[in-house]
Amino acid sequence: MYGRITRAFKVLISVAAVAGILTGCISSSSTLTDAPEKLEKSISNGKSLIPDITRDTLTLPDKELASVDESLKTPAKSTVSNKTEEKEDVIGGSLIDPAKYVPDPSARIKIVLDPGHGGVHSGAVCDGLREQDLNLKVAILCRNYLITHYSDVAVFLTRSTDRELNETLKIDLEERANVAEFANADALISLHFNASENHDANGAIVYVSKRDNVNEESGMLGDAILKRLEDLGIENHSISIRDSNDLFDTSGNPYDYYAINRHCAAKDIPGIIVEHAYIDSPIDRGFIDSEEGLAAIAEADALGIAAHFELTLY
């Protein structure tokens, strides 16, 4: 199946290259830069986040807790193709109906899928494709694949529609990690698509926390996903960590640059960021401008997660 898909992508890629369709990409750094970088700017203007990093209790106000609770239980709908959900329902190995799915908190493995950005927090945009929509599609397809093929996993989404978790970006990112804590998750996987300033980069990369409590497992999980993406024909740029420029612990060691990595590590949860491909790359574009391409990426994510956690097939 991958071989057939890969050949189809090569045709798509050639067409895209010849037609020169990659001309409408927004290249301002504020749009192309991933959300956590914006967070860093807000952090550099204040010191309030440092105490939060070490906190060990969930301190969401009641209202926000309720909203998180609701998001965990909301079945996936609307902005993502219902056609795909029906198809998954038919080919799945269980009788689970993804549209009515409610994750079971007692499942052996609990995964939080985090579709990056959403609502007021825009990701990359290129030729009418919005990263926040692609992230959501892949997240729902990945969840549906997991819950219809494996019996011992519960999958929670941080959002199931095009919405933010909080209008303030700093809080929005922290709340995504709070969902993982609330769900007692074995891992949070934040799903993204990349973009480059000069539209000349391609391939997949996974960012993990450098912290000892989660680094090794995060790397193994990320590698399992990257291997499946590589099987599709997406270049593997492997696991990476990124240090904060201006956030240091009491020993002078820099914190993780990305908020998802940082907040999840503080909660003892492996939180990884999967940048699947570049939304503005002629090489990668064939994977992301078709329903088949997005489904293949979602399946690759699911197979990587299943392999790492040794999930049980129905």
Residues that bind Zn ion (CB under 5 A): 34, 116, 123, 192
- Please identify, using beta-carbon distances, which residue of 143 and 192 lies nearer to Zn ion: 192
Q: What would the two tokens of residue 70 be?
A: 């609701």
Minimum distance from CB of 241 to Zn ion (Å)? 17
Minimum distance from CB of 186 to Zn ion (Å)? 23
- Please identify, using beta-carbon distances, which residue of 195 and 305 lies nearer to Zn ion: 195
- Please identify, using beta-carbon distances, which residue of 159 and 192 lies nearer to Zn ion: 192
Q: What are phi and psi of 94, to 5 degrees?
A: -130, 180
Q: Cα separation of 98 and 86, whole Å? A: 8
- Please identify, using beta-carbon distances, which residue of 114 and 186 lies nearer to Zn ion: 114
- Please identify, using beta-carbon distances, which residue of 122 and 290 lies nearer to Zn ion: 122
- Please identify, using beta-carbon distances, which residue of 110 and 130 lies nearer to Zn ion: 130
- Please identify, using beta-carbon distances, which residue of 60 and 180 lies nearer to Zn ion: 180
Q: If residue 115 lies in a helix (H) or strand (E), which one and from where to where?
A: strand 109-115
Q: Cα separation of 142 and 305, whole Å? A: 10
Minimum distance from CB of 195 to Zn ion (Å)? 8
Provide DSSP, 203-260: SEEEE----TTTHHHHHHHHHHHHHHHHHHT--EEEEE--EEEEEE-TTSPEEESSHH
Minimum distance from CB of 102 to Zn ion (Å)? 28
Minimum distance from CB of 172 to Zn ion (Å)? 13
Q: What would the two tokens of residue 90 be?
A: 């038919």
Q: Cα separation of 299 and 295, whole Å? A: 6
Residue nearest to Zn ion (CB): 192
252 Ramachandran zone, left/alpha/beta (phi>0; psi -120 to 50): left
Q: Cα separation of 219 and 304, whole Å? A: 12
Neighbours of 119 (CB within 10 A): 15
Q: Exposed (0-12), middle (13-18) or buried (19+): which is 160, by Cβ within 10 Å?
A: buried
Minimum distance from CB of 214 to Zn ion (Å)? 21
- Please identify, using beta-carbon distances, which residue of 60 and 136 lies nearer to Zn ion: 136
Minimum distance from CB of 124 to Zn ion (Å)? 6
Minimum distance from CB of 77 to Zn ion (Å)? 22
Q: What would the two tokens of residue 75 be?
A: 């079945």
Q: What are phi and psi of 177, to 5 degrees?
A: -70, -35
